[in-house]
A and B are shown apart, each in its own frame.
Chain A
């Protein structure tokens, strides 16, 4: 076992931090570390915090971590913010909302940029979660970028998904739409001291009544993250969902689903990287040019790219 991994298992936070970087960057060393750590992951309760920009995800995550610290648990937090699609740069500002936790050695906050991933998370998110998990945090929070309607990837990364809503942000038709609300295990109306909170709670209740129940209805809780109101009850609801997964046999099923998704999406990335590596730029540019000029449709162009690939393999 490499020195840094030994230090990681001994609880060295600097080793954790450096391993997170290497794993996020997908370097050969990072891959090697992950191989060694992965068997020790799978113990943490992973909790996804999602909701629209400005809904209070970061503040609420900080408040939840504070409550869990009071209950004697260590907490890892991964906070994702968007990368620029043009420069690939990013401002990662979620830590600002978690100032109370900075000097608590029982909490570790890591910011990540989306680096071109879609779905509200980052390409290496599952690997980074596994590292935090293997380090021994019993609770690991994953905060998505501001997510509105269709960013449902978080459900495949976290065991419990918390959807953060706010009063006064849309009529009940928004809530009727398919997508993000369907993945929530716990619903929160944050900023519940604002007008319209009660109406939103009853709208969400009415909406959930229409969803075919599979034995458990997601609870709806009201919080004011900035004052801590409702936060202990939210921690209880998150724990309750984990107990439900354990007792219903849902945990195993969810782990299988998540593993399937992970393996397939990594395979997809590897294939795409191979195609990019093996396709001369002029070939790609030629096909792309024909599509842009409407001389070729994009599906045919993609098939030609793949045919080329297979032809190369056959040689």
Chain B
């Protein structure tokens, strides 16, 4: 094969940071002959290469599309700030990595939406690709721009920019969509005719066929399809058989160091816990496990196909995977033969996991992570995080006995019903853990003296499809007051020297809150922010809060309306037209229970009737365990 011609000249590549981001050619990247495929699909993660390449979802879809003989899927990521400037200056169209061909020549441009602060990068990608940012302006030759990922569960703030949103898991419905596309092309149909038919496919939301009207008070009066035959509700797509489906056993391996530099094994989807703040836990219901024998096979295949020296298990709550002990024993044995490290995030801290972790990690150098999320038992009950103080301290004691000396604690500030006492609880809990160390480990065995506890707080953002979607988000000033209170409370603790406290900027959290529960009117805001030069908003050094505030004002919209307003129970939400399995009624009940500080049992303990059982599979149909250790 002759040498691939790069889209960027040597002059540019030698001038910019990390030119490797833009050359493609990585091991396991797929090259096809464009003349021999019917559909060219550009799959985009709207952030810089290193972030995008760490995302498992794109690897799964890349593998899926390229396994189709008539499709060639290539990758595209946001050019970094330096190249962005050059591309604009020299009118270089955004290109896909494998072929280096301009994205505007492709049939589809798929953009995954993982977090709200990447929305301006979506516009950057479209703009650099020389595709009209507004879907309504796109001509017959433009690629179909399709969005997916968790943020597509409230697609409205981006409704102007996408032709289609794919709601749900990507493994199921693309074949139908591409067949439809090919059929329409063969018949010589226009773009809008294709989109009209696509809108009738399960899982597809085509914004141009829906309209929305507002009441005096700004809330939604009606959200409705504008034509006959366009569905009123879009039901999410879900893979019911997690074992007999695509999995990238030959993931693309970047040359440069990326955030996720290891084999990733997705062991299950969904989560049984039902924590009330957690959107992912609701969206991916019901819990579906991958068969353990298949996982073992994938693990070995992937290590062979990649040469990675580390393997990691990915799921929302790995401790709940029913065959975890068996899988972990297998991995420990196989990995020690192969000089492979094992990484096990999202584990509950108990005797089992500590035993496992001591076998796979250097106890002295690694830290144990607890995520109490709230400082008091009362508030933990409100958010339905079943982790008791007793369990945390017991786990900590076991850990310290086992030789760990570093503990990380994750909390949120601004949860509904939070009081000062709850916040002080963060400091007190951190202190109790430090005290446990000194109680558990006798002086002689304290290598280096002190235990290191790092407490981090993030600011709570209410999300769609959670019990807290009605909650008011705190103002930036309230957030900072709470962080200050936390810091003061920690400094007053007996063991304050052993505790370090980290908190983050509040500005971006509030704007995230605006976008998360936003409606279509926010499209104008996002466009304005982008036109004013805003992008890479997920990066602290580029996020400009004033630019967002100014844009909101210029569009006549209020931050308070979207973020700080508590919703009434009968309000119509911009995302109500989507069916994610979990019913609004169930979420209302959970909201009420939260206010009463009542726990709900997890899926394995007792079905709460959330609605996900109607998908006919997963944990909903497995025999319940009567006991559960927390």
Do chains A and B stick together as partners? no
